[in-house]
């Protein structure tokens, strides 16, 4: 992740990343969003087990 975002500022988000066809913003959003969705799935699973 550091290779794509560390040392980058807000003005760099539209620049290409090391992932073909993805900007730095795309990579950051993908990683951050994936973590958020994973937490939501774990919360749902926990609630279902409590039923």
Stated pTM of the model: 0.58
Sign of CA dihedral 33, 36, 40, 41: positive
pLDDT digits (tens, 9 = 90+) for 3-28: 545 567 778 889 998 899 999 889 88
pLDDT level of residue 2 (50, 70, 90 thresholds): low
Residue 14 has what pLDDT? 93
pLDDT level of residue 31 (50, 70, 90 thresholds): confident
How far apart are the C-alpha atoms of 46 and 21, rounded to whole Å? 37
* DSSP assignment of 1-51: -HHHHTT--GGGTTSB-SSTT-BHHHHHHHHHHHHHHHHHHHHHHHHHHH-
């Amino acid at each position: 992740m550091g290779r794509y975002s560390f040392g980058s500022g807000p003005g760099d988000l539209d620049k290409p990343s090391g992932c073909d066809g993805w900007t730095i913003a795309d990579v950051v959003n993908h990683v951050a969003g994936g973590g958020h969705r994973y937490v939501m799935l774990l919360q749902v699973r926990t609630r279902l087990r409590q039923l």
